[in-house]
Amino acid sequence: MVSSLPTRRGLLAAGAALALAPALGSRAGAAPARRVAVLGDSITSGYGLPASQALPARLQAELARIGQPARVVPAGVTGDTTAGGAARVDRAVPRDVDLCVVALGGNDLLLGAEPKAVRANLDRIVRRLKGRGVTVVLAGVRVPTLLGGAYAREFNGAFASVARTHSVLFLPDLLEGVALNPDLNQRDGIHPNAAGVTLIARRLAPLVAQGLRAG
């Protein structure tokens, strides 16, 4: 005759299952983390800095701080231009991201790229991302005020024009308050140091959070 009384092993297994049930339930019911990519160059990839101080990590920390947690993945390449970004956007930006920060143009400026070409490249990048259903935050690069002139107006206008055309969230100058400030840049005077990156992340995070909420 088989006993109907529960065994000690059965009781232990049942107890373990009951103990795990709340944790498993909350994990299963938790919303999946939103994913953000940063398509950029050495400024965004953290040139000269450990990964923990690079823009993707600092932006992720800022998003968490303001109550919009997300996983931020890097898609920056040192030396990249808007043309390079346009050529690699499909393979560089993961298929499952919700939002992409497009932060290119610094190297175009250094190379004296034609503003019309910069605009066309940015237009292609934004079109490709929006065609995939990815929300875009466009971060511009502004010609230093001391240079001025027609080139500055056309170059700066390229970013604003693309933002207007595609109705995307727009940060006119990624390096506002950081560029040319020796306290916020590394010894080369071009790449932000940890403090400079933190300032960039704090200015960028609210726009990214807005885009995630809208998406």
Tell me which residues are annotated as active site.
Answer: 42, 188, 191
Q: Are 199 and 184 in contact (CB under 8 A)?
A: yes
Q: Are 68 and 99 in contact (CB under 8 A)?
A: no
Chain mean position to CA 91: 16
**DSSP letter (8 states) at residue 198:** H
Q: Are 98 and 36 in contact (CB under 8 A)?
A: yes
DSSP per position, 98-122? SEEEEE--HHHHHHT--HHHHHHHH
User: How far apart are alpha carbons 69 and 52 in whole angstroms?
Assistant: 17
Specify the DSSP element, H or E, that contains 38.
Answer: strand 34-40
User: How far apart are alpha carbons 170 and 14 in whole angstroms?
Assistant: 55
Q: Are 82 and 118 in contact (CB under 8 A)?
A: yes
**DSSP letter (8 states) at residue 83:** H
Residue closest to 138 by CA, chosen among 168, 164, 181: 168
